[in-house]
Structure 1
Amino acid sequence: MARKWLRRGLVGVALVLAALVLRVTFLRPDPVPVTVVAVARGAVEETVTGSRAGTVRSRRRATLSPEVGGRVERLFVRKGDRVKKGDALVRIAADDVRAQVTLAEKSLVVAEAAEREACRAAEQAVRDLSRSERLAKDDVLSLGLLERAQTEAGMTAAACEAARARVGQARASLEVARVGLGKTVLLAPFDGVVAELSTEEGEWVTPSPPGLPIPAVVELFDPDDTYVSAPLDEVDVGRVKAGVPVRVTFDAYAGRTFAGKVSRIADYVLDQREQNRTFEVEVALEDAAFGKTLLPGTSADVVVVLARKEDVLRVPSYALLPGGRALLLSKGTLVSAKVETGLRGAEWAEVVSGLSEGDTVVTSLDRSEVKEGARARAEEAR
């Protein structure tokens, strides 16, 4: 009887143990799939990116309008044309001004003729006076005739000087008329390219008076002197210095990256509505020849490199948890490790201590089941 109960007891214990084994085997949660990356050596950068796309700009850009208003008589250029300094761009109809120039030219001719005549008479009067003085010395000429010769010489000399003054006045009037005529022709102030042309032949244009903005007739820029202007968030204003390296990419040149340096930092912060406050930096490209091929207005993305270290132990920045910790996958279990970091950028962080080369660090941290102590298995990143 005792043996019978003993057998039954052993069977019961066996059933309980079997149930426990089945519970552990079938009810134990599956390992959590995680993406991982091995700690390795490489470069780490601390960077600042633009708050929005930058723009290629020309250092020399001018908005031009004629100094006088009137009807556009002739356009010498079209949008996109290259011009040289001094080339005519637009001419305003100026028949009245040309008539003034013609009148001034003729007035000058008349004044010069009168000057020649008056001065010849003055020269003759001087010669006559000299002769009269010799004759008077020999008592051949009376004192009255000598005084008359002296008076004549003085009067003709004054007439000559007055005629010369009228010539100077006529020349000044001609110069004024020519300046007025010159104002009817808009000239290029430097070598460049016509960016905009906002008028046509036959239209009337008005010069821009001070304080009253009127659209310019011609916009001109120098394509050989360009730079990249980029807005950066104001929080970085104390970190960015002139001379630091920059990487620049252009949508127009996809797949290529161009090196440059910060050449200038604005002395003020822009406060624009509905946008973050930003400050502008100017970037000079190292490849100056390529820079000359860029069209002003082209968009550019800028990455300012504040610091860079080569061949250091690194881990992806997004693999670090708050408090400077990381999860390691060790023998199928997630283990927490305290990580001391050095230089840290948006993509990579330098590992000073806490991790070793080859350690497997978890990067898929956005799931609640990914936590210290959980069973896990590595899967390929998608």
Structure 2
Amino acid sequence: MERTGRSPRRHWIVPLAVLAVLAIGIGVWRWQGAKNVSVARPVRASIIESIASSGRVRGVTETLAGAQAAGVVERLFVREGDRVSAGQRLAILKNDVAEARAAQAEAALTTAQATLVQVSRGVLPSELEAAAAQVEQARAQLAQQQSSLAQAEQSVVQAKAQLAQHQAEGELADRQLERAERLLERGLIARAEHDEAVTRSRVVKQQIAAQQQAVAVAETVVRAFRGGVAAAEANVGVQEARLRTLQVGARPEDVEIARQRVREAEGALAVARRQAQEAVVVAPFGGVVTAINAEVGQTVGSQGVLQLVSTEVEIRVEVDETNLADLALGQSAVVSSTAFPGSTFAGSVREIAAAVDQTRGTVTVTVAPMKPPAWLRPGQTVNVNVVTNPAAQRLLVPTAALRRVGDRIVVLVVRDDRAVETVVQTRPPTKDGVPVVAGLDADDRVITNPAAIQPGDRLRIRPSTGRGEP
């Protein structure tokens, strides 16, 4: 009798079929739950890295040109925008103080000459009486000059106190203006409120400039009265010496002293006349007149008739202190202006400030322009790109792949078919993508459409043949 048996392989068919069905089911379930994404691998490229900021054009040398003493502007030879050379006459001041000193010196010389005449001959009783009266008159003039000097010194103290108050108001106005600019950028205040802060800052600066002129004029007046006190004291000495000479009679040595006083008075008169002629404002260097601070007929101090800026200019740029490590002397820069599109010129980093502005967190970088264009003006705002690395090797990723989470910049990469969040450090974007300096490898697969993707999501990669993509 023949027996029929099952093949051993048939025992495995059913379990294998079940496992296959389960595997297919799990695969279908995972496939249906995965999210479609596009990915790209970072592309290594050589790029130019730079620091972009705005800068202010100013002269390498700037000054407020004035004469040696205060006075009233009598003649003005230049206008705003004129180019001048070193030593060129800019203005003439009418110096009443210097002219008064010259008149006093002339009077002192006349007195010294009269004294010499008197000691050379006998003395009359009437001359003694007149000499005593002149001594009293000289002492009264000295007391008056001393009183006027005290009042002038008090005026200086008051003017400096007012200047300090205006300067404190100016610092407050500058801080309020900076705050208003930040709030305006964020849309938290109206343009009118920002304009009010700008106006307030400008008004306070004008008040400071006017008060500085007032301080300069007050100090000049003090110097003038000190000169008057010195002249009055000298006159008292002369009159007292003359009286003593008349009282004791002339001696050979007295005659010689009188001659010496005449010579001293002649020298003092020559100095006073020279000072009266020195009220001429001249250019200390060649440059451009950028502002006229006093017109004809206005009173000015020893400085401040006009503002002069040297022909050679430089650009001051405020750079965030976080960029300090990337800055170095001699780095090249590209300068442009929104007012002159398409026109750029080169520059070089000449100086990096030794200290950081603690209030703003910035450091001042000075850029020397090379072959500046004709449109460049002192006080102008320009755009400056300081090239920190002309050939930096960086990984580039698409701009769309980046997103900000708090104060971090992150990308999503694919690992084991899931989205993984990675923090990256970037540089300013280029036309080919965003440079990444830390956080990614060249083999990473970066998700380029991360808007609807969350870390941990299961992913299904869309096939693509684009540049930098798998």
C-alpha spacing 1:269/1:96, structure 2 compared with 1 (3 Å): closer
**CA offset digits 1:189-244 (Å, max 9, x no partner):** 11111111122212223447xxxxxxx331110122x1111111222334422223
1:42 aligns with 2:36: no
For 1:175-324, list aligned pairs within 5 A: 175-182=271-278, 184-207=279-302, 216-224=304-312, 226-272=313-359, 276-285=360-369, 287=370, 289-290=371-372, 294-309=376-391, 314-316=396-398, 319=401
Amino acid at match of 2:381: S
**CA offset digits 1:92-124 (Å, max 9, x no partner):** 22478568769989x99xx9xxxxxxxxxxxxx
Aligned partner of residue 277 in structure 2, secondary structure: helix
Larger radius of gyration between Structure 1 and Structure 2: 1
C-alpha spacing 1:231/1:267, structure 2 compared with 1 (3 Å): same
C-alpha spacing 1:95/1:314, structure 2 compared with 1 (3 Å): closer
Residue equivalent to 1:71: 72
Aligned partner of residue 194 in structure 1, secondary structure: strand
Residue equivalent to 1:373: 459
Residue equivalent to 2:269: 173
> Offset of 1:167 from its aligned partner?
5.8
Aligned partner of residue 86 in structure 1, secondary structure: coil
**CA offset digits 1:157-204 (Å, max 9, x no partner):** xx999979956763553133212320x222211111111112221222
For 1:145-164, list aligned pairs within 5 A: none
Aligned partner of residue 295 in structure 2, secondary structure: coil
In the alignment, is the contact (CA less than 8 A) between 2:83 and 2:288 conserved in 1? yes
The 2-side partners of 1:204 and 1:352 are apart by 66
The CA RMSD over aligned residues, in Å, is: 5.0
C-alpha spacing 1:169/1:344, structure 2 compared with 1 (3 Å): same
In the alignment, is the contact (CA less than 8 A) between 2:69 and 2:95 conserved in 1? no
Amino acid at match of 1:345: R
The 1-side partners of 2:305 and 2:64 are apart by 7
The 2-side partners of 1:98 and 1:206 are apart by 16
> Offset of 1:255 from its aligned partner?
3.2
The 2-side partners of 1:67 and 1:319 are apart by 67
Aligned partner of residue 201 in structure 1, secondary structure: coil
Aligned partner of residue 237 in structure 1, secondary structure: helix
- Structure with bigger helix share is 2
Aligned partner of residue 173 in structure 1, secondary structure: helix
Aligned partner of residue 179 in structure 1, secondary structure: helix
Amino acid at match of 1:277: G
Amino acid at match of 1:222: S
Amino acid at match of 1:299: T
In the alignment, is the contact (CA less than 8 A) between 2:73 and 2:91 conserved in 1? yes
For 1:28-39, list aligned pairs within 5 A: none
TM-score by length of 2: 0.47
The 2-side partners of 1:365 and 1:197 are apart by 60
The 1-side partners of 2:387 and 2:398 are apart by 18
The 2-side partners of 1:335 and 1:29 are apart by 12
In the alignment, is the contact (CA less than 8 A) between 1:44 and 1:310 conserved in 2? yes
The 1-side partners of 2:393 and 2:356 are apart by 37
Amino acid at match of 1:295: R
In the alignment, is the contact (CA less than 8 A) between 1:340 and 1:354 conserved in 2? no
In the alignment, is the contact (CA less than 8 A) between 1:72 and 1:205 conserved in 2? yes
C-alpha spacing 1:292/1:37, structure 2 compared with 1 (3 Å): farther
The 1-side partners of 2:348 and 2:325 are apart by 17
In the alignment, is the contact (CA less than 8 A) between 1:45 and 1:305 conserved in 2? yes
Structure 2, unmatched stretches of 5+, are 1-27, 113-251, 404-408, 430-434
In the alignment, is the contact (CA less than 8 A) between 1:337 and 1:354 conserved in 2? no
Structure 1, unmatched stretches of 5+, are 1-23, 112-154, 209-215, 329-333
Aligned partner of residue 196 in structure 1, secondary structure: strand
Aligned residues: 287
Aligned partner of residue 229 in structure 1, secondary structure: strand
C-alpha spacing 1:67/1:360, structure 2 compared with 1 (3 Å): same
> Offset of 1:68 from its aligned partner?
2.9
C-alpha spacing 1:338/1:99, structure 2 compared with 1 (3 Å): closer
Give the percent of matched residue pairs that are identical in Structure 1 and Structure 2. 27
In the alignment, is the contact (CA less than 8 A) between 2:37 and 2:449 conserved in 1? no
**CA offset digits 1:105-148 (Å, max 9, x no partner):** 9x99xx9xxxxxxxxxxxxxxxxxxxxxxxxxxxxxxxxxxxxx
C-alpha spacing 1:293/1:175, structure 2 compared with 1 (3 Å): farther
C-alpha spacing 1:366/1:303, structure 2 compared with 1 (3 Å): farther
> Offset of 1:67 from its aligned partner?
3.7
> Offset of 1:327 from its aligned partner?
5.7
Aligned partner of residue 339 in structure 2, secondary structure: helix
In the alignment, is the contact (CA less than 8 A) between 2:105 and 2:272 conserved in 1? no
The 1-side partners of 2:93 and 2:438 are apart by 71
Aligned partner of residue 251 in structure 1, secondary structure: coil
